[in-house]
Chains A and B, each alone.
Chain A
Amino acid sequence: MPRSLLDLPLKARAPFFFAYLIAQLAISIWALRSPDFVFGFQMFNASSDMKISLYRRVRYKGRSRLIAIRDGTWQAKDAHGQTHEFRWQERVRDGVLGTLDTYVHASYGLDAQLFRLKFALEDVANHVPGDEQTEAFVALVDTVKNGREYRQVRLEAARP
């Protein structure tokens, strides 16, 4: 008869059983409070769409200006005055967050995608060595919650 270390003795079964259930309960409560319901089972929770328009804030003649980033691509100069080209999608490969200027389905809901986009902006802001002109990245996000609630959300991440 096969024996396994995973054959729990009778006395250990109840603690294992209740520990698992308590852990699941704790994770579920944590998931409900998390904007993207990660580790929660929220299938098909919304039919919302979003369109991300990306900008970068640059200083020009002493004033701060927003410049649109087209197709996720922009050019900027480094400390030596040399021009480099950067692409949003080189850092952000996610299908939803990587799609700009087009409405896409916000899988797992708008809150989930806006939560992730905030971190994506910060990530890009921290990973563009050679761009000495951009002070911050700004995302204007047009959201349509379940086909009827239109709202524009502004997110910004300053460069370090």
Chain B
Amino acid sequence: MSTPDHVAPSASWLSRFFGEERDAYLLGLLRLALGVLLFLNGARLGLELARGGYFGDFFHLPIWAEGLVPSRAGYTALLAAQALAAVLAFLGLWPRGALLVASGIGLFLLGCDRLQYHNNRYALLLLGFLLAFTPCDRSLLIAKRSPHSFPLAERIAPTFARRLLQIQVSLVYLSSACGKLLDADWRGGQVLHLRFATVAPFWASHGVRLPGSIDALLSAATFASFASKFAIASELFIALGAWFPRTRRVALWAGVLFHISIELSARVELFSWVMGASYLAFVVPELRERRFEYDPRRRLGRFLANAVRALDWCARFELGELTPSEAELGAFRVRGRSGAEKRGLGGIALLAEAIPLLFPAWLPLALASKLAPKRALSSA
């Protein structure tokens, strides 16, 4: 973490907080993700307009004064402008202004009909709004000629709005957890018990018949009671644990699994994707502080190196080749941020810890690597 020249090292905590300057690369990645999600959110509204007609022609419930609700033509134009802004944000053409326009239009339209209000849409629009105030325009600018990102010196920029983004993510979980905690039916498991009863029919409608043991588990009131308390604790842990370096990884991992379980049991529009993307705001901004070294003569080494090149979207790893003497100990070696070096399953766990697509497997792999005999994989 660095502070700008005009903020003295002895400055107050607040001055240092608001003067914080970090690598903005990952904010560009977050911009790509939110650009896609904002476009999909607007596209769904466009489809509803085309198929079901203009919401203002039917019963609707505006939060703003009725006079502010746009006409059909105005609504169509706003949706088109929102879609265009989302595309520009994704491509990196005036991306911050585009994010502000896309999210601003979305927030305005959300207030035009509370029947169309959904938490995931509101969360997406707030995150898009806040991201516009971060230097997310310094990396992954697809429309710019290669290289798509500015050099490191130009990517270091004030990132105080990233902290607001993190706070907003925590507020989503805190608010949700507190609402459940204060509700006796939720705490006691009654709400989840009834919701679990819909899981088997939900999968049956998709042609999947759940095994009897899972069906029995989902029907058990005790399981629902336990799951309720676990869900509330999980949301509280994600909200608070993501702030502390020691608990951050586990909190984000719990969050990913929490959303995978929601996706498997309910229809929640873009909610899981929005929250999953928002986790990028919690990732340490500095790049390539870990190292992956491989033996190019071995198939496993080459395979893993290609996988790292393709999937290391957060640019966590510096790639290198092992010397012949080092390669005798295994096909690859991973060095974590702390400097600890791992091979075999432990090394794979270190990769999964930092690669988004593999992240759900991180904790099981890390635990397995503690239990598995050493060098089981490194001798491959």
B97-115 interface bits toward A, Cβ cutoff 8 Å, 1 = contact, 0 = none: 1001000000000000011
A1-14 interface bits toward B, Cβ cutoff 8 Å, 1 = contact, 0 = none: 11011111010011
**Residues of B contacting A: mostly:** helix
> Which residues of chain A are within 8 angstroms of B194 by Cβ–Cβ distance?
47, 146-147
Q: How many Å lie between the Cα of A14 and that of B158 in the bound state?
A: 13
- A13: contacting residue among B123, B138, B160, CB under 8 A: B160
- A146: contacting residue among B61, B135, B190, CB under 8 A: B190
Q: How many Å lie between the Cα of A75 and that of B85 in the bound state?
A: 47
- A40: contacting residue among B175, B190, B192, CB under 8 A: B175
**B-facing residues in A44-63 (Cβ within 8 Å):** 44-47
Q: Across the interface, do A6 and B190 meet the contact criterion of CB distance under 8 Å?
A: no
Q: Which residue of A lies closest to B117 (CB)?
A: A38
Q: Across the interface, do B193 and A147 meet the contact criterion of CB distance under 8 Å?
A: yes
B285 at the interface (CB under 8 A from A): no
> Which residues of chain A are within 8 angstroms of B61 by Cβ–Cβ distance?
116, 119
Interface size on A, residues (CB 8 A): 43
Smallest CB separation, B119 vs chain A (Å): 5
Top-7 shortest CB links A-B: A47-B194, A41-B175, A13-B18, A123-B59, A146-B185, A42-B179, A47-B191
Q: List 30 A-B contacts (CB under 8 A).
A: A2-B135, A4-B135, A5-B97, A6-B97, A8-B161, A10-B4, A16-B133, A17-B18, A21-B164, A21-B167, A38-B117, A39-B122, A41-B175, A41-B179, A42-B175, A44-B266, A46-B183, A46-B185, A47-B193, A47-B194, A92-B58, A92-B59, A94-B115, A97-B59, A119-B61, A120-B59, A123-B59, A146-B185, A146-B190, A147-B190
15 new A-B contacts, CB < 8 A, other than A6-B100, A45-B186, are A2-B150, A4-B96, A5-B97, A7-B135, A8-B133, A10-B4, A10-B19, A28-B175, A39-B122, A41-B122, A44-B266, A45-B180, A45-B183, A116-B114, A148-B190
